[in-house]
Structure 1
Amino acid sequence: MSTCKQFNRQVLALAIGAMLAAGAVHAQDASTQATPSADQSKPKAAETKSAQTLDQVVVSGNSTSGGIKRIDASYSITTATRDQIKELNPISVSDLLKVSPGVYPESSGGQTGANIEVAGFPSDSGAPFVTLQMNGSPLFPKWDYFTDAMFRLDDTIDRVEALQGGPSVLYGNGQPGLIANFILREGTGTPSGDVGLTYGSEGMVRLDGFYGFPIGKDSGWYGSIGGFWRRSDGVRDPQFAADKGGQLTATLSHDLQHGSIMFYARDLKDKNQFVTDTPILNPAPGKFSAYPGFSPLTGTFGSNADRHQFFETTPCFTAGCSPGGINVDMANGQGGDVHMLGGNLDLAFDNGWALSDKFIFVAGNMDTSAFFSTGANPTSLSGFISDTSASFGLPSNLTATATYTNGKPANMNENVTVQNPEYIHKRIQSVSNEFHLSKELFEGNTLTFGNYTAVFSEHHSEANGSNQLLQAKNNPNPIVVNLSDGTNTYALTDSRGTFWNSQPQSWMAFNERWHATTTAFFLADEWNIGKWRLDGGMRIQHDDIGGSFQNTTSGDLDNNPYTVYNNNAEYLTNSYQHISGSRSAPSWTVGANYALSKNMSVYGRVNDGVFLPSFDDMVNLQKPPTEKIHNMEVGFKYQAPWIFADISAYRRLFHGVPYSIMLSSGQVNLVYGSVTKGLNAQVTVTPFEHFSVALSGNYMDGHYSGYDSCVPYVGQDGSNLCSSINGKRLDRQPKLQYRLTPSYTMPTSWGSMKFWVTYEHMGDRYGDQLQQQPLGSYYALSFGAIANIGQNWQLTLRGTNMTNQIGITEGNARLFGFASGGGVILARSIEGREVNFQAKYKF
């Protein structure tokens, strides 16, 4: 254990003791509530309230100037204030999205790169049906794996609004799934702010700060600046900093006679370890336990021994020459070096006209240096040498020697694994603008015309052709293997334990450039008639995509037959293929809300959305289909002093879902659909003063449809099999998931204390579309405690996965079909226990 971790755990122990002592001393002094801190925002057209009230104004998913109250919205939207975000104990941006019922972030890979499932949206991996927004602007117009890595949570976020389906098909990039709109904290009429210092049990130290202030006297201008810096060894300690970096955000806003204008800038420079599938014992379907030498909760393939990599990428054709390549530091992880600049203009005039405009510019690098699973389960070192030398066509009578990269001899009987170290470079750039022009046609009826335009580009290259032979244990050593016949020496791996597969694969070398334009026009109408609120709209979107990708070939990189490891490597050639395409598609929605009383309403909505192809679709499928989504939902909202309830039922139909499978015979493309029905629920009950119980959950029954043919896949024994996916459950999505949080607030004479515990249940799932990889179910237990001391001090203690549960989020993602062999599976579990303590001063 590192000195830093020992120190941090001692600090945490003292913090826990201090909080418990404070609670014991002051438990019976409860007579008054804590005075709110002086976080006094400037007046707004849409003043926010507590997130658990139907009177709260929301700005996402509607075109109304200033937003609408939740009780009036004909759709379900989940909100969380800055304080509530803290109480949700999110370990990352993606993990926070579970605040919306039916959203399942697979928070097992670290701070970034999570697969995010939205109930009833068949996505398989990544997060195609999730759009992250900043102040109403999509961070990137098209889905890509890096979206959740583009920013981090900190005290510059005022609140989040998460909307599933509903009218979101009209606005922004037309996302039919989930929109998570992160709204920035702005300057204040009175100078105010906070600074916090956090220590974590995983060797983490973090500094947060925010300051809001008026600019000049009575000028109507306000500014703010804030952000964070932190360093962490990580729950999965790779022997170097797992997470290191920070973020800085500034805003500038101004009150106008008929509205407001604000600008914001955000800069992120952060490095985060990305964790891939690891070996886990799988004695029975859906049952998992620790693999010897590798904890599913804290284990990682990262180590000082395999931190520095060299990828051979460029051949040389002279005997004895050294191929060209690149040096890669795996400590860079999956991070981001991203810059954002945006602005919002909102105007409402007395003659019924209103105007809104939102723009955002995003540019930067979203690189990844990480290990990825090759799909092969661990085997003995001697077995690996025998199988691999045969696959390379070497004689069977060779004598093998194996050493670690430090020169010490390796044990031929130890278990080893083959991992794929990758370097992925993504350079992104995007500018988008959304314009709304509204006019009240007559009392209660407002018509809005709008346009969304985005111009964006991406350069995507990968150097990931080699595999690396590693010990099948935490923080492994690479293994170097040489074979000899007494005269000649055959290098099965290079000096870093890396080698190329005996058969070329198309993903070994990769370089592509893309540019695209999205233009959409929409018309929406909102009509208030007594207790009714009706709304509807249509959108037409047109996408133009163009790009090129570099061709590859395979061969010997160094013209040396004895360096076996690179005799059949794949590398880029000086030729390109060019791809372009354009298509248009409509979307529409109709909704109605009826107010049964001031605190109760019912609603219904129907919409048709589309999901137009992304860059990867253009490469993999050449002529990808347009996915069409039909969503129907009804809901009920109710609030009383003792209860808050927001419950909705839905039915979701998909058509034209593409999927690609790589088999030994080549790539197989499928197009299918799905049918899903389900129920989302958010309920908070307050049976007596200061105590509440919150329930957020989802029941989903979703199945594949529309593909009657036999779907090919590779079995665990390597044979080619096939089966139908019709009627199979949507993969990776639980039928039942819920989170139950009892909390108690204890007012005291010096402030207040709040305690809460969250029990999270994730139902059984399958890791593949054929239901051959059962992932089982799991639960996680987290806790939190906050002490507000006077008007200035706040102490927070939080912990996640306190019982160290193994929770499998994905099976072997490189296999389609069976994944477990010999009682072992390559899979990924949620992280083990983590506890952190923060001391914050508010001023």
Structure 2
Amino acid sequence: MNMNRLVLGISLALASLHGAAAAAAEAPAAAPASSRQDAKGSSDAATLDTVVVTGAARTQRRFDASYAVNSLTREDVQKLAPKSYADLLGSVPGIHVEATGGEVQNITRLRGIPTDRGFIAFQQDGLPLYHELDGNFFNSGDGMNRIDVMNQRVEVVRGGPAPIYASSGGAIVNNILAEGSEQTQGKAQVTVGDTGLYRGEMYQSGALGKDTFYAVGGFLREHDGYRDNGFPNDKGGQIRGNIKHYFDDTSWFKVSGTFVDDHNTFYLPIPVADPRNPNVSLDPYINYFTGTLNSPALRSVNLKYLDGAGALQSMNRDLADGRHMRFGNVGFQYENSASDWTISFKSGYTKGRNTFDALYSTTNPVDGTTFANSYLNAARAAFGPGVARMGYALAGSNGASVYNPNTDSGLVMSAQYRAADSDFYSGQADLSATRLFETGMGTHDLNVGVYTAFFGSTALNVYQDMLLQVRGKPDLLDLVAYDANGNPLGYVTDKGTLRYTTTLNRGEVDARMFAVYANDTWTITDRLKIDAGIRHERYHYQGYAEQTAQANLGDPTTLADNTTRRFTGVVQNHELSPKATNWTIGANYDLTSAIGAYARASHMEVVPNSSVARSIDPTIVTTKLDQYELGLKAAYGRSYLYLTAFYTKFDPLNASFVAFNPVTGRNDQSVPFIGTAVSKGVELDGMFRATDWFSVSGAVTASDPQYKDLQNDSGADPAAVNGKQIVREPKLYGNLRPSVNFTVGDNAFETWLRYDFVGKSYVDLFNQTALPAYQTLGLGVSWKRGNWGAQLVGDNLTNEKGLTEGNTRTDALAGQGSAEAIYGRPLFGRNFRLMVSRSW
């Protein structure tokens, strides 16, 4: 991206708005407080009056909500100091995260739902930036949303009425941005980290004129990374802003804009132990905490395939480009409460492009000699009987720079370079009407609305297998066929490429959907409240996918191009019209003003993603998700406790894990299991403030996620899977955060610990290879004096070892051949960040 341009844009915007605010301040408007104040988010989440707006027709206190909801203010986020959006969500109960993939596109799972994103719908001021949860190698969660000081707060609804207010919403994460008021205010913050992190962010809000207010902010960041790629990890930023105008005390409109241009490197699993002897660590070759297979050797990778006309196409890709997300969003919102009905209209349009470059893990490392000899017969068949032996050389050296794995780890490995490009757009709008009715048996607060979206995307995906050393920042290798005199006769590889273009996809889809919804909150007495809602959705997908076939590119000097994929010129067209109906019903009863209980049942139907219409021979399955909740809540002073028991049923579950085939280089090995996934558990979210200077916060989830009623039609025994723990889902996870604060004169200090724990889980369906339990310890210290502040945060202070994910390309069916995982995404090592800020 053009960093100078974005810096200049943020600076000019803030400078011009600051000037306008100063001019307006000479004659400030007397805005009615009832409609012109920002909704209050409490910096002390323990108070009863914490306000939430997500998952309801009107603003309400968190304590009054009949579902599990958290509100994280700007101050809360500052204190948590998350390394990524997933890291932030890991502080909330019921959401298990694997935040080891880098800054974006991490794994978030909700209450045992066996998907990588857990049907968690992200919104910005109540509307998604992109209608679907997942695009082509990006998602509309942390793939598109980024936290900075422009966020006034983040609200997280787990279960509850989420299916009524969001498509495919098992949960909702709503980013609520700052808005302006008569008083000019803002914040600037600089963050530096010992991992080569440099980040600046700021926002400012105030008055532009009579009844017109603004807010604008953003961030710029460059980061070498938590792992040593040999090139910068993250670089880019975003700018967001809005202007809001009040016509009178009952109506207003707001226009907003968001622009993101950001590069993020993706960390994939690494081998941590020798598969020939799992007791032997590979740490001397690839460091557990800082090592990665990402490498400068992959800064210029040539991808080859034949197009539909038979012409050879070539793409040159750079791994340092990472996931490059660029998009712009414009929004318009209007509200009018002049009549008995409150009319609300929200709309937005997003257009963007995502290019993706990453090195994916495939098979385990193998003994170098064994791997080389496995190609001896194929080399003799291709290059003649004069082939005497197989050997390795550094890629591109024409066999001259000989490499002997036995002088190193003794191992070699293959990995898959994935390049994926996508253009996308999404326009969405929501129109709703809310009215409060008085009846003889209490009041009804009725909310009815319509939602529509028009969206689409293109996709070009090219995968290619590379041969590597087993070490951090590995060199590419060539596997060479030598004669008896040591002369190269041919190559299994081609400049480090083991197999050209083993996977090739291209397609496009345009989609539209329309939904109607209604929700009624019936307040029977001051203590008893019942609400129910329904949402019906209809979709239409129209797209195409280009068919592929196996091809030989015809180079007689290498085997790397013998089994590539090519486009045939034949196109599959698809037109699909799925539909879904969701509902919810809940009740809330307050025993006293500070003790209450709630119960809820929700049903959600999830239609196939629009990508099925740009896929070859797609499988069309509508999944049903049922959630049942029973909650208790209590508050005393500034202490509180929310306890939620839940039961989740996911049906049908397609547990047909597709595995990487090292012979073809494609994901074409599968054992299909169809059944259900269930999870029952308890979430605890609380804070105990013992004194004015000491408190303990915590979020703990204990559950039992397991497979049920699986069936298999190809001879596999489902009894070996039924009742087993769901892949990568621990039974226990959470965090505890004791905190001490004190003042010295005009200086306010706070220090806290963060203890995170994750229980044992498994990489495979049969629970043969475990991801061991782990615990990490973090520390934070903050100082404030007037408008100035500073904060030092350290993570994983003890360098605790822990693995996430496993190697999903190969181990989901049969494990890793060891009792504990020897391949996975390790936790990041000990790291520190210092933040210095000034508010005004």
Which TM-score bucket, shorter chain as reference?
0.7 to 0.9
Contact between 2:672 and 2:712, CA under 8 Å: does it hold in 1? no
User: Which residue of the partner structure matches residue 463 of structure 1?
Assistant: 462
* Post-superposition CA distance 1:173-219 (Å, at most 9, x none): 141x2211111112232222122222110011111111112102xx1
Cα deviations by residue, 1:294-346 (Å, 9 ceiling, x for unpaired) = 1222111122222221111237999xxx9431111111112311212223323
CA 1:227–1:675 in structure 2 vs 1: closer, same or farther (change >3 Å)?
A: same
> Is contact 2:298–2:318 with CA below 8 Å preserved after alignment?
no
| Alignment partner, residue 10 of structure 1 | none
Q: In the superposition, relative to structure 1, how do residues 560 and 286 fare at CA in structure 2: closer, same or farther (>3 Å)?
A: closer
TM-aligned CA distance change 1:289 to 1:192, over 3 Å: farther
Q: CA deviation at 1:688?
A: 1.4
CA distance in 2, matches of 1:485, 1:53: 79
Aligned to 2:183: 190
1:61 positional shift: 0.6
Name structure 2 gaps, 5 residues minimum: 1-32, 662-667
Contact 2:672-2:714 at 8 Å conserved across structures: no
* 1:513 aligned partner, one-letter code: E
Query: CA, structure 1 residues 509+620, in 2 after alignment: closer, same or farther (shift >3 Å)?
Result: closer
**Larger deviation: 282-291 or 224-233?**
282-291
- The percent of aligned pairs where both chains have the same amino acid is 27
Q: What's the offset of the Cα at 1:266? A: 1.0
1:527 aligns with 2:522: yes
Is 1:129 paired with 2:119?
A: yes
User: 2:42 matched to 1:46?
Assistant: no
The match for 2:630 is: 634
1:121-160 Cα offsets, whole Å, 9 max, x none, are 122xx31511111111123222215222113211111110
Summarize the Cα distance change of 1:552–1:811 in structure 2 as closer, same or farther, 3 Å threshold. same
Give the C-alpha shift of residue 579 in structure 1: 2.1
Q: Does 1:386 align with 2:373?
A: yes
Assess, with a 3 A threshold, how the Cα gap between structure 1 residues 141 and 201 changes in structure 2: closer, same or farther: same
1:25-40 maps to which residues of 2 (within 5 A)? none
1:709 paired with 2:698, answer: no
CA deviations 1:23-64 (Å, max 9, x no partner) are: xxxxxxxxxxxxxxxxx9994273333333232121101112
What's the TM-score, normalizing by structure 2?
Answer: 0.88
Rounded Cα–Cα distance in structure 2 between residues aligned with 1:334 and 1:519: 31
Q: CA deviation at 1:406?
A: 7.2
Out of 252, 271, 274, the residue aligned to residue 243 of structure 2 is 252
Q: What SS is found at the alignment partner of 1:112?
A: coil
Q: What secondary structure is seen at the aligned counterpart in 1 of 2:288?
A: coil
| Alignment match of 1:241 (pick from 225, 232, 238) | 232
1:674 to 674, 677, 698: 677
Which deviations, in whole Å up to 9, do the C-alpha atoms of 1:711-739 show, x marking residues without a partner? 778xxxxxxx9764221112211101120
- Measure the CA separation in 1 of the matches of 2:309 and 2:608: 40
Aligned partners of 2:325 and 2:352 also within 8 Å: yes
Change (3 A) 1:187 1:46: closer
Instruction: Describe the SS at the equivalent of 2:560.
Output: helix
Partner of 1:158: 152
| Residue type at the aligned position of 1:252 | I
Say whether the 8 Å CA contact 1:196–1:208 is kept in structure 2. Answer: yes
Structure 2 residue aligned with 1:97: 89
**Matching of residue 111 in structure 1 with residue 103 in structure 2:** yes
**CA deviation after TM superposition for structure 1 residue 810, in Å:** 0.8
Distance 1:286 1:109, change over 3 A: farther
Match of residue 805 from structure 2: 810
Aligned in 2, Cα 1:220/1:389: closer, same or farther, shift over 3 Å?
farther
Identify if the C-alpha distance between structure 1 residues 524 and 286 changes in structure 2 by more than 3 Å, giving closer, same or farther. Answer: farther
Give the structure-1-normalised TM-score: 0.87
Q: 1:329 aligns to what?
A: 318
Aligned residues: 777
Bigger drift between 586-595 and 45-54 goes to 45-54
Cα distance, 1:456 vs structure 2: 0.7
The 1:662/1:199 distance shift into structure 2, 3 A limit, reads closer
287 and 522 in structure 1: CA distance in 2 versus 1, 3 angstrom threshold: farther
Contact 1:268-1:336 within 8 A present in 2 as well: yes
Instruction: State whether residues 787 and 796 of structure 1, in contact with CA within 8 Å, keep that contact through their aligned partners in structure 2.
Output: yes
Letter in 2 for 1:656: P
In 2: Cα distance, 1:391 partner to 1:615 partner: 42
Query: Counterparts of 1:157 and 1:241 in 2: how far apart (Å)?
Result: 26
Residues 42, 188 of structure 1: 8 Å contact kept? no
Q: Deviations over 1:48-86 (max 9, x none)?
A: 33333232121101112xx11112111010111011112
AA aligned opposite 1:725: V
Shift of 1:788: 0.5
Q: How far did residue 529 of structure 1 move? A: 2.0
Cα separation, 2, equivalents of 1:447 and 1:202? 52
Instruction: Name the aligned partner's letter for residue 538 of structure 2.
Output: H
After superposition, residues 83-94 of structure 1 pair within 5 angstroms as 83-94=75-86
State the alpha-carbon separation in 2 of the partners of residues 113 and 712 from structure 1. 36
> Residue 297 of structure 2 corresponds to which residue in structure 1?
305
Deviation of 1:562 (Å): 2.5
Give CA-to-partner distance per residue, 1:493-541, whole Å, 9 cap, x none.
112x11217xx95xx1111211211211112111112211111111111
Q: Does 1:341 align with 2:340?
A: no
The answer to whether residue 544 in structure 2 is matched with residue 548 in structure 1 is: yes
Report the equivalent of 2:450: 451
2:344 corresponds to which of 356, 361, 364? 356
Report the CA distance shift for 1:282/1:676 in structure 2 as closer, same or farther (over 3 A).
farther
* Distance of aligned partners of 1:248 and 1:46 in 2 relative to their CA distance in 1, 3 Å threshold: closer
Matched, 1:279 2:271: yes
Question: Cα–Cα, structure 1 residues 290 and 494, in superposed 2: closer, same or farther, change >3 Å?
Answer: closer
Note closer, same or farther for the CA distance 1:658–1:206 as it changes in structure 2 (3 Å cut).
same
Give distance in 2, aligned partners of 1:479 and 1:658: 38
Q: Secondary structure at the match of 1:692?
A: strand
- In structure 2, the CA distance between the partners of 1:283 and 1:332, relative to structure 1 (3 Å rule), is closer
Who is 2:474 aligned against? 476
What is aligned with 1:432?
428
Q: Distance in 2 between matches of 1:532 and 1:100?
A: 27
Is the partner of 2:535 in helix, strand or coil? strand
CA contact (8 A) 1:71 1:600 kept: no
**Alpha-carbon distance in 1 for matches of 2:328, 2:309:** 42
User: Which of 215, 222, 225 is matched with 1:224 structurally?
Assistant: 215
CA 417–283 in structure 1, closer or farther in 2 if over 3 Å, else same: closer
Corresponding letter in the other structure for 1:236: R
Q: 2:193 aligns with which of 197, 200, 220?
A: 200
In structure 2, what is the Cα distance between the partners aligned to 1:104 and 1:325?
41
- Is residue 55 of structure 1 aligned with residue 49 of structure 2? yes
Unaligned runs of 5+ in 1: 1-39, 714-720
With a CA cutoff of 8 Å and minimum separation of 6, indicate the structure with the bigger relative contact order. Answer: 1
Contact 2:675 2:709 in 1 (8 A): yes
1:836 to 828, 833, 836: 833
Contact 1:342 1:360 in 2 (8 A): yes
Name the CA shift for 1:120/1:235 in 2 (closer, same or farther; >3 Å).
Answer: closer
Looking at structure 2, the residues matched to 287 and 779 of structure 1 have their Cα atoms a distance apart, in angstroms, of: 22
